[in-house]
Amino acid sequence: MSQLRIFSYMPSARVYKATIAARLCGVDIEIRSASSPDLKDWLWDFDARPLTEEDKKNKANARISHTGFKSVLYKTDGFLTAHPFGIVPAAFGPDGKVGIFESNSIMRAVARLGCRESGIYGNDPYTASRIDSYLDASLVFARDSQIYLLALGNKVVTREIYNSASQAFGVYMSAIDSALTSDAAFLVSDQVTLADICFACEYAMFSREAKRGESLSGIGVQPITSETAARFPRAIGHFEQLCQHKAFSPDLRGF
C-alpha cells in the first residue's frame, strides 16, 4: 500500500513537487489522474475513478466547479470532508480520511514520511524554518502565476493581468537569483531541499506561458520569460542544473 495517494490533473508541475521529493527520500506514492479537461468526467474521491452513468444520476455529488473548470464536477461527501476547499491536487493518507491540500503542504508531507536522514527538509529547526520561508514566499508568486496562466489558457489575458504576473515573476526570480551566490550550490544548504524543488516546479509551470504566444501577441507583448536567462542567470543556471538531477529529470527534463 502506498504511503500517500494523490488525485490530480496531469501533467502538473504542482504534483511534481511531491514526486521529486518522494524519489529523494524513498516514499511510495500513488497518483490517480487524468488530463485537466477530463477531470470533469471523474468522480472526485479517495477512490477517484471515471464517472459511470449511475454516478451522473446521483445529483448529491454534483458540485459547482472551482477555478479552472467550467462544468459541474462530481465530488463525494468524503472528498469534501477531507478537502474542504474542494481543489486538486488532493492528497490522502492510506485510509482516505486525512486530506492534505496545497502542493507545498503535500510536498512537506512526503518529506515527513520519508527518511529523516535525507535532509531535504533540513536537519535542524532553523534550516527547516528557512525552507518554509521559501515555500511561503512562493505562494505569493503562485497566486499571480495561476491567474495569468488560466487567463492565457482561456484566451482572456489582459495587459493588467500580464503586468501583475510580470511584476510578481520579477520579484520572485530576483530573490532566487540573489540567494544563489557564487559559493551557494543550492538555496538553503549544501544539498537539494524542498526550497529547490519548489522553485524548479514553480518556474517550470510558469514557463508554459511561452506556448501561448498568440494570446500574448494579441495584446502586444512578449512572453515574460523571453529574456529570463539574461535577467536572472544564476536562477536559470540552477534550474537547468536541477533538471539534470536524477530525482528531477523524470518530470522536468521536458522543460
The CATH fold of domain 122-249: Glutathione S-transferase Yfyf (Class Pi); Chain A, domain 2 (1.20.1050)
Per-10-residue mean pLDDT, the chain, length 255: 94 96 97 94 97 91 78 94 96 97 98 89 95 97 95 94 97 96 88 98 95 89 94 96 97 87
pTM of the model: 0.94
Domain 4-116, CATH homologous superfamily name and number: Glutaredoxin (3.40.30.10)
Q: What's CA 197's distance to the chain center, in Å?
A: 10
User: Whose grid coordinates read 501561448?
Assistant: 212
End-to-end CA distance of the chain: 32
- What is the reported pLDDT for 68? 65
Residue 119 falls in which region: left (phi positive, over 0), alpha (psi -120 to 50) or beta: left
Look at residues 27, 10, 11, 189 and name the one whose alpha carbon lies nearest to residue 108. Answer: 27
- What is the reported pLDDT for 215? 86
Residue extents of the structural domains in the chain = 4-116, 122-249
Q: How far apart are CA 61 and CA 49, in angstroms?
A: 14
**R_g (Cα) of the chain, nearest Å:** 19
